[in-house]
Amino acid sequence: MSGSNNSQIQINASTLVCQDSIIEGKVTIGSGNILHHRCRIIARRGPIIIGDKNIFEEHSTIINNGAEPMIIGNENLFETSSYVDTSNLGNQNIVEIKATVQQNTKITNNTIIGIGTTTLPDMELEELSVIYGEENSLRKQFKPVSMVSHSRHLHYLKDNLNRYKHNRRQGH
């Protein structure tokens, strides 16, 4: 883990942080999160506040370029090479592989940003929204994705990532 000023980084002791992840700026991370190898959480201007039980996969980037706090809720999944630069992301959302959430997009709960899609700046997505396809089409889900698989995923990752010496728990 790197960080220019570690005194501004607060990480709950139950969160697992891979050593080569990057955390910079004023960042607060809640309990039970998993930060995979080479994920980046960067608070450039405003702080980043992350809730509980989120998964940040390899090369995912969470960046706050705005002055206002970025608040990320609970039980979200940020898949490989996803990029998020938004001020508000609720609970139980999935940002899929190589998806981009642009600055000031507002995401409530149970939303899916599909593989390789991009939100519009200042877009507001209602609960159960899905962005998909080459045209970044928008539709609604009938019901939220089951979080049972998210809980199992967290448990599996915590068990397996803890086996390697280049991983460490962080409690600042």
Q: What is the CATH number of the domain that holds 90?
A: 2.160.10.10
In a domain, 64, yes or no: yes
The closest alpha carbon to 103, from 115, 117, 88, belongs to 88
Cβ–Cβ < 8 Å for 26, 44: no
* pLDDT on residue 167: 57
In a domain, 80, yes or no: yes
In a domain, 28, yes or no: yes
In a domain, 118, yes or no: yes
In a domain, 42, yes or no: yes
In a domain, 77, yes or no: yes
Residue labelled with tokens 């998020």: 84
Cβ–Cβ < 8 Å for 136, 102: no
In a domain, 97, yes or no: yes
Measure the CA angle with vertex 61, ends 99 and 93; round to 5°.
55
Task: Please give the tally of structural domains in the chain.
Answer: 1
Which tens digit of pLDDT belongs to each residue from 31-49? 999 999 899 999 999 999 9
> Domain limits at 161?
6-169
* pLDDT on residue 165: 46
Binned at pLDDT 50, 70 and 90, residue 164 comes out as low
Which tens digit of pLDDT belongs to each residue from 117-142? 999 888 999 999 999 999 999 999 88
Amino acid at 58: E
Which tens digit of pLDDT belongs to each residue from 76-113? 999 999 999 988 899 999 999 999 999 889 999 999 99
Task: Tell me if residue 4 falls in helix, strand or coil.
Answer: coil
In a domain, 1, yes or no: no
* pLDDT on residue 171: 47
